[in-house]
């Protein structure tokens, strides 16, 4: 790899990390406040900047200036490490997501993704399963019963729904025949009868529903926010955190929401594919920009869906959450990939598929 290729990778990392995830998380916080205010018939943020648009940045300044308080009996090293684990996993997961096809600049064809790996889906599942350590260690290291219960809840919840999430993706892998996310998107750019795009949402509706519900549980969002349930746990695993350590957990949550939305778009909604855009006669550069804008629009719509669900559906009881995970979600995910396998075998038997 030459120096130019290394610089290109570094530029893509900076754009994704700061331009999409950090700035995107700030905008998601603002959108959440605006949407929740609209749903609850409130005004929402309106003091800092036009329409309160600068409120998230004022919150960052406030968190930086707050005192970092650590309980006397806490494990200081683990207490400091836990939020770093959470934010590192949240920022690393986006590396394999293609936010466009390719773009030609200065005579080079640049793939619009940070890491083009052969095991994209496995990388995704591996990182999301590691993410539970940040929350669990935060709850244990604080030496607080409320925090410990939040960490234990999170461990049980994430393990339960991680199974359903992984199994729900098997159907997509069977259809696409690859673990690479860029190839999964490219296979969704074809059409049925020249009209209907071959997005996996049409082929795997049950897998999509299972994956989407598991994503809510993985991101600890309502109605699955039991690890930080305020009525009984005062804030759960991050009760004993203040200042920027709490801010890192907050940033990690919204970065995970953006990443989950991007993964869902990539696997089920055609990724950067805009139907019939390739027939508009655009130049390669303009087509690449349209594809990136298409991907961004789809992600924004899914983030808004995450926000609307949070302020619409009440929180489950913990026994309900676990029962849904093991008695509903897991059988649905298993039935989905078994049914997908039977359909593929039937199509191969009749010569429709190879």
pLDDT digits (tens, 9 = 90+) for 32-76: 999 999 998 888 888 888 888 898 889 888 888 888 888 888 888
Three-state SS letters, 244-258:
HHHHHHHHHHHHHHH
Are residues 252 and 271 in contact, defined by beta-carbon separation less than 8 angstroms?
no
Q: Which of 95, 172, 133 is nearest to 341 (CA)?
A: 172
Confidence check: pLDDT of 284 > 90: no
Q: Enumerate the β-bridge partners of residue 102.
A: 111
pLDDT of residue 308: 92
pLDDT of residue 229: 67
Of 178-182, 212-216, 261-265, 350-354, where does mean pLDDT reach its minimum? 350-354
pLDDT of residue 200: 92
pLDDT digits (tens, 9 = 90+) for 75-110: 889 988 988 988 888 888 888 899 888 887 777 788
pLDDT digits (tens, 9 = 90+) for 181-193: 989 999 998 888 8
Count of residues for the chain?
354
Confidence check: pLDDT of 1 > 80: no
% of the chain with per-residue pLDDT over 70: 96
Would you place residue 235 in the very low, low, confident or very high pLDDT band (cuts 50, 70, 90)? Answer: low
Confidence check: pLDDT of 263 > 90: yes
Is beta strand 108-111 parallel, antiparallel or unpaired with respect to 191-192?
A: unpaired
Are residues 271 and 261 in contact, defined by beta-carbon separation less than 8 angstroms?
no
Element containing residue 56 per DSSP (H, E): helix 55-65
Burial 262-284 (b: 16+ CB within 10 A, else e): bbbbbbbbbbbbbeeeeeeeeee
Of 6-15, 86-95, 251-260, 345-354, where does mean pLDDT reach its minimum? 345-354
pLDDT of residue 192: 85
- What value does the mean pLDDT take over residues 211-225? 85
- What value does the mean pLDDT take over residues 148-175? 87
pLDDT of residue 230: 66
Confidence check: pLDDT of 264 > 70: yes
Confidence check: pLDDT of 154 > 90: no
- What value does the mean pLDDT take over residues 136-146? 85
Residues contacting residue 48 through CB under 8 Å, at least 6 positions apart? 54, 55, 57, 58
Confidence check: pLDDT of 233 > 80: no
pLDDT of residue 296: 92
């Amino acid at each position: 790899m030459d120096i130019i290729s290394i610089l290109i990778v570094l530029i893509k990392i900076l754009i994704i990390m700061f331009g999409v995830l950090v700035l995107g998380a700030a905008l998601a916080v603002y959108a959440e406040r605006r949407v929740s205010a609209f749903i609850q018939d409130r005004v929402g943020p309106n003091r800092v900047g036009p329409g309160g648009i600068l409120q998230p940045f004022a919150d960052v300044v406030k968190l930086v200036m707050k005192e970092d308080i650590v309980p006397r009996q806490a494990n200081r090293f683990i207490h400091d490490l836990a939020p770093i684990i959470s934010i590192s996993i949240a920022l690393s997961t986006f590396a394999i997501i293609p936010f466009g096809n390719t773009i030609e600049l200065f005579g080079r064809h640049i793939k619009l993704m940070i890491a083009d790996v052969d095991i994209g889906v496995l990388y995704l599942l591996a990182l999301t399963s590691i993410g539970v350590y940040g929350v669990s260690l935060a709850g244990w290291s604080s030496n607080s019963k409320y925090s410990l219960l939040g960490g234990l809840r999170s461990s049980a919840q994430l393990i339960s729904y991680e199974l359903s999430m992984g199994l729900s993706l098997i159907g997509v892998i069977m259809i696409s025949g690859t673990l690479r996310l860029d190839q999964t998107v490219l296979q969704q750019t074809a059409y049925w009868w020249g009209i209907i795009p071959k997005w996996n949402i049409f082929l795997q509706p049950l897998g999509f529903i299972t994956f989407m519900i598991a994503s809510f549980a993985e991101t600890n969002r309502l109605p699955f926010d039991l690890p930080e349930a305020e009525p009984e746990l005062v804030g759960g695993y991050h009760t004993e955190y203040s200042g920027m350590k709490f801010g890192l957990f907050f940033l990690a949550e919204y970065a995970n929401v953006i990443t989950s939305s991007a993964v869902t778009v990539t696997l089920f909604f055609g990724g950067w594919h805009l139907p019939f855009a390739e027939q508009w006669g655009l130049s390669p550069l303009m087509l690449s920009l349209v594809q990136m804008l298409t991907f961004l629009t789809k992600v924004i719509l899914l983030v808004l869906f995450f926000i609307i669900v949070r302020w619409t559906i009440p929180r489950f009881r913990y026994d309900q959450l676990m029962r849904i995970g093991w008695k509903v979600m897991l059988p649905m995910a298993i039935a989905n990939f078994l049914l997908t396998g039977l359909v593929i075998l039937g199509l191969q038997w009749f010569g429709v598929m190879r």
